[in-house]
Structure formats: C-alpha cells, structure tokens
Structure 1
Amino acid sequence: MSDSHAAEHSPDGGAAQRKQIWKVFIILSVITAFEFLIAFTMHHGTLKIAIFVGMTIVKAFFIVGEFMHLKHEVKSLIWAILIPCIFVVWLLLALMLEGGSIFQLR
C-alpha cells in the first residue's frame, strides 16, 4: 500500500497530515509577516538586504524540506543537493562584489 493510499485509509482520516500542513502554513506565514514588517519599518541598506536574503533561504529550505520531502531523505542526498547550491550562492556573491568594484577603479 503506498503512502497516499495509507493516508486515505488511516483511522484518523489524514488528520496528522492536515495538522502538519497547517503547521508549515503558520510558520511560513509568520516568516512572511516578519519580512513585511522589516520591509516597511527598516531603512534601505545592507542589513535589510542581508535579512531578506537570509529569511528567503530559510523559507526555501523549509519548503524544500517539507513539501519536497527532502528532510526525510538520506543525508548523502541532502548534501548532494545542498553543496552545489552553496557554491552557486557563493559564485553569485563573488560576482556581485567583484562586479561592483569595477566602478571604484575609475
């Protein structure tokens, strides 16, 4: 019996799955509300951008872990996905920092 059929025939009628979905919804809603609070109260600057990037990464990992079921996989698969993502973020950061320095040389 697959997991989808097990949820349909479970004695609680899928209440545990609905509870988990609502938990994820509430956590993501709180993080998003905090992002809106920061967006409308903080002055534009590096700290504001860093907070947004950090919170976006947290939300992305939470969504990937919960809805794509990555947190239930073996650790080697998680690292095989995570390490290339870290290098891509590092590459983008390096390109932005180095690309911005060309204007300071003039």
Structure 2
Amino acid sequence: MAHEHKLEIFRGLLKFKNNTQKIWGVLIFLSLVTAVEVVLGIIKPESLTGTSVLGMKLLNWIFIILTLVKAYYIAWDFMHLRDEKSAFRRALVWTPIFLVIYLVFILLTEADYIYEVYKDGFVTWNF
C-alpha cells in the first residue's frame, strides 16, 4: 500500500506541486547552507576566529552546527523521518546529537590536556 509523500518543506512553509520541484527546493536549501560554510571558511572573519566559546573558536562551532543541520535535514527529508512516529524520530535524531556532543567534549578535553603538556614542557617521573 503506497502513500503519497508530503510535498512541503520547513513544516509546511514551502509547498511544491510535484516531487521534482521539491527535490530542487531541498537542493537549493542544502546548497545555500554549504555556500555559507564555504564563504565563512574562506573569509574567516576576525570576530568569529577571535571569539572562543567552550574552548573552541566560534567559527568552528558554526561549522559543526551547520553540518548537523544539513545532516538532520537530509535524514528528515530524504529518509522520510517526517512520516514516522515522533518517538522513533526522537530516538534516531537525539541519540546521534548526544553522541556528537559527547565526542566534542572528549576531543576538547583531551586537546586541552595535550596543549598544556606541550606548553609546560614534558615532565618525567623518577621512580
């Protein structure tokens, strides 16, 4: 039993007439987000590279957030998560988000430790 796919994006804000138009709309959205990432990577504004939030430059946080937005939207639209039950959607979406946050925390903690070791010099233990 087949059912029609929803021809709208952004929770019904944009509606399309057919699947081809919807695919082009999604492609344009994902291309815009990617273009913003590329432009920020080329320009590297001083206000974003000089500001540090939770031990990492604000520009890096923007890259991580935009990448997660793209990944979420690809899963939401092309993997048809919007048609699933809310509990299943939450299980699929929130689990990787928490794991990515945990990974970023571990990487920042370990990177800070290694930075401190190199900054203060190596310490050898005499037993």
Which of 67, 74, 90 is 1:56 aligned to?
Answer: 67
Q: Which amino acid aligns with 1:28?
A: L
Alignment deviations for residues 11-56 of structure 1 (CA, whole Å, 9 cap, x no partner): xxxx611111010011011111111111111158312111111110
Q: Which amino acid aligns with 1:69?
A: H
Q: Which one has a larger percent strand, Structure 1 or Structure 2?
A: 2
1:26-65 matched pairs, under 5 angstroms: 26-43=28-45, 45=49, 46-65=57-76
Q: Which amino acid aligns with 2:19?
A: Q
| Match in the other structure for 2:26 | 24
Q: Which amino acid aligns with 2:64?
A: V
In the superposition, the TM-score normalised over structure 2's length comes to 0.66
Structure 2, unaligned stretches of length 5 or more?
Answer: 5-16, 50-56, 121-127
| Match in the other structure for 2:2 | 2
Structure 1, unaligned stretches of length 5 or more?
Answer: 5-14
Once superposed, which parts of structure 1, at least 4 consecutive aligned residues long, lie more than 6 Å away?
A: none
Q: Quickly say closer, same or farther: Cα 1:101–1:42, change in 2 above 3 A.
A: closer
Tell me which structure has the larger Cα radius of gyration: 2
Alpha-carbon distance between aligned partners in 2 of 1:101 and 1:49, rounded to the nearest angstrom: 16
Shift of 1:3: 4.5
The answer to whether the 8 Å contact 2:72/2:93 transfers is no
| Match in the other structure for 1:91 | 102
Q: Which one has a larger percent helix, Structure 1 or Structure 2?
A: 1
Give the CA RMSD over aligned residues. 2.0
